Amino acid sequence: MSKELVEFTAERKLPLGRNPNYGLETMTSPIGHRCYAQRELLDRFMGYTPGEICPDDWWIGQSLMLRGCEPLPRRRCFARTPAAIFPPHSLPGSLWEIPSDKSVLWSHYSCKSFECLKNRAKNKTVFYDCADCFDLSGPERSRWVSSKELDEIFSLAKGGIRIGLDLGGGTGSFAARMLERGVTIITTTLNLNGPFSEFIAARGLVPIFATISQRLPFFDNTLDLVHTMHVLSNWIPLESLEFVLYDIDRVLRPGGFFWLDHFFCTEDQLDTLYVPLIERLGFRRIKWAVGKKLDRANREVYLSAILEKPVRESF
């Protein structure tokens, strides 16, 4: 085990003694339980020189996260930066402006510019997740502009929609459209062969670098809206998906909305697995629409649903 990992995870006494607010006498820094199952990657991630520039290894941290090592251990090194300061565009123009290529470190991406990312949707021979997300003048620009679903949510929300979460939100376009409506949306994302986190931040939005496996970092009954598009689908083990859905329910306030946007699965899976799972949560159906997924030949369908969290008896 690396010396830095031992230093980070060591239990230490509080210098002022017992803290009555926390009920603690010691402090311990946590890491995910699966970190120790990835000892080789973990040792590489923690094999830096304290006080120096971090190795060019953020992708190792992401690999650990995807393997259940979440949260990652903190490190005592300086994150690498671009060669100079390139100020971002100002709001609201930044929502739909492409940032400077020089504001991003490109070493671990196949593309080395935003122009390359913008054009990779044209390459039909290679599959890219969220292939057209970086093209803000293409289909991404038109998403959620004239959205009947959003209009319905705003009209039904008791107390309005003010804050929310977009789970697996690509480059942040849902958050951008919601900001135009005066709503603050936090976007979770990963840098899967593209600088998604940096791109979201450059737009003037807030990214959280996290997998869908991590417990949502919000207290119970606090968010007005949770939205997710494509990232929750039948590729996730059913039991794992159930934990995710209950966690979404946990962070939504009573009367808050869960917008399951384009959840895909096969027709038989929808009826036998996913409808019963969703119904166990007891949400009130505001919208429930099922359509054919036309790019697949194996009877896949999309489910789009808007669901309202009920008040539950606690006593």
Confidence band for 259, pLDDT divided at 50, 70 and 90 = very high
Q: Is the same domain home to 15 and 144?
A: no
Number of domains in the chain: 2
Confidence band for 297, pLDDT divided at 50, 70 and 90 = low
Q: Is the same domain home to 56 and 149?
A: no
Q: Which of 269, 267, 279, 280 is nearest to 305 (CA)?
A: 279
- Stated length of the chain: 315
Q: Give the whole-angstrom CA distance, residue 145 versus residue 129.
A: 22
Q: Is the same domain home to 44 and 156?
A: no
Boundary-marking domain end, from 12, 44, 66: 66
Q: Average pLDDT in the 37-63 region?
A: 97
Q: Average pLDDT in the 151-159 region?
A: 87
Q: Give the whole-angstrom CA distance, residue 296 versus residue 277.
A: 24
Q: Is the same domain home to 159 and 259?
A: yes
Q: How do strand 206-209 and strand 284-292 relate by DSSP bridges? A: unpaired
> How many Cα atoms within 13 Å fall on the side-chain side of residue 244?
20
Structure tokens of 94? Answer: 């930044």
Q: Give the whole-angstrom CA distance, residue 31 versus residue 7.
A: 13
Boundary-marking domain end, from 25, 47, 66: 66
Q: Is the same domain home to 50 and 155?
A: no
Query: What is the structure's pLDDT at 315?
Result: 62
Query: What is the structure's pLDDT at 74?
Result: 97
Q: Give the whole-angstrom CA distance, residue 99 versus residue 103.
A: 7
Q: What is the pLDDT of residues 162-171, one digit of tens each?
A: 999 999 999 9
Q: Is the same domain home to 148 and 55?
A: no
Confidence band for 266, pLDDT divided at 50, 70 and 90 = very high
Would you say residue 246 lies in a domain?
A: yes
Structure tokens of 285? Answer: 């159906």
The answer to whether residue 227 scores a pLDDT higher than 80 is yes
Query: What is the structure's pLDDT at 41?
Result: 96
Q: Average pLDDT in the 112-139 region?
A: 85
Confidence band for 102, pLDDT divided at 50, 70 and 90 = very high
Confidence band for 298, pLDDT divided at 50, 70 and 90 = low
The answer to whether residue 127 scores a pLDDT higher than 80 is no
Boundary-marking domain end, from 43, 66, 89: 66
Would you say residue 191 lies in a domain?
A: yes
The answer to whether residue 291 scores a pLDDT higher than 80 is yes
Name the more confident of 131 and 193: 193
β-sheet with 284-292: strand ranges across: 206-209, 184-189, 163-167, 223-229, 252-266, 300-308, 284-292
Q: Is the same domain home to 168 and 286?
A: yes
Please report, for the domain that includes residue 161, its CATH number: 3.40.50.150
Q: Is the same domain home to 61 and 197?
A: no
Give whole-number Cα distances, 214 to 2, 139, 217, 233, 243, in Å.
25, 30, 8, 17, 10
Confidence band for 295, pLDDT divided at 50, 70 and 90 = low
Asked if 56 contacts 109 with a C-beta cutoff of 8 angstroms, the reply is no
Structure tokens of 195? Answer: 């600088």
Query: What is the structure's pLDDT at 66?
Result: 97
Would you say residue 38 lies in a domain?
A: yes
Asked if 166 contacts 186 with a C-beta cutoff of 8 angstroms, the reply is yes
Residues 6 or more apart in contact with residue 97 via CB below 8 angstroms = 89, 136, 203
What are the backbone angles phi and psi of residue 153, rounded to the nearest 5°?
Answer: -60, -45
Query: What is the structure's pLDDT at 73?
Result: 96
The answer to whether residue 123 scores a pLDDT higher than 90 is no
**SS (HEC) of the chain:** CCHHHHHHHCCEECCCCCECCCCECEECCCCCHHHHHHHHHHHHHCCCCCCCECCCCHHHHHHHHHCCCCCCCCCCCECCCCCCCCCCCCCCHHHHCCCCHHHCCCCCCCCCCHHHHHHHHHCCCCCCCCCCCCCCCCHHHHCCCCCHHHHHHHHHCCCCCCEEEEECCCCCHHHHHHHHCCCEEEEEECCCCCCHHHHHHHCCCEEEECCCCCCCCCCCCCEEEEEEECCCCCCCCHHHHHHHHHHHHHHEEEEEEEEEEEEEEEHHHHHHHHHHHHHCCCCEEEEEEEEECCCCCCCEEEEEEEEECCCCCCC
Would you say residue 82 lies in a domain?
A: no
Least confident of 31-35, 106-110, 239-243, 295-299: 295-299
Q: Is the same domain home to 161 and 268?
A: yes
Q: Domain span at residue 23? A: 3-66
